[in-house]
């Protein structure tokens, strides 16, 4: 698995494909409403479906991110996501 889970932290390694969606969804549902920590320091790329899950969780709960030294496109997306502009409930 490219995502590993320990307590309230998910660590993303290498390239994260769509087949990780269900395990991440289950992790986020188990953690709600707690704050989750998402570690992307070793992540090279991530599927859009994974990003959507993370942003949906952040709409209702707290997420903190850790990124690597080289800025990736997914980092720009996650840092630029403004929950006040997301109008789904």
Which tens digit of pLDDT belongs to each residue from 26-42?
Answer: 999 999 999 999 999 99
| Position 82 pLDDT exceeds 80 | no
Residue-level pLDDT at 80: 86
Q: What average pLDDT does the segment 55-77 reach?
A: 93
Alpha helix stretches (DSSP H) within 7-81: 21-31, 48-60, 73-80
Contact 13, 40 (CB under 8 A): no
Residue-level pLDDT at 81: 80
CA distance 22 to 44: 20
Tokens 């995502």 sit on residue? 3
Residue-level pLDDT at 89: 44
Residue-level pLDDT at 1: 73
| Position 48 pLDDT exceeds 80 | yes
* CATH architecture type of domain 3-82: 2-Layer Sandwich (3.30)
């Amino acid at each position: 698995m490219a995502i590993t889970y320990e307590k309230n932290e998910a660590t993303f390694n290498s390239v994260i494909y769509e087949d990780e969606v269900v395990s991440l969804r289950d992790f986020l549902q188990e953690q709600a409403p707690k704050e989750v920590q998402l570690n992307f320091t070793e992540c090279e790329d991530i599927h859009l479906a994974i990003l959507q899950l993370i942003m949906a969780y952040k709409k209702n709960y707290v997420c903190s991110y850790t990124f690597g030294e080289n800025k990736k496109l997914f980092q720009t997306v996650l840092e630029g996501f403004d929950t006040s502009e997301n109008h789904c409930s």
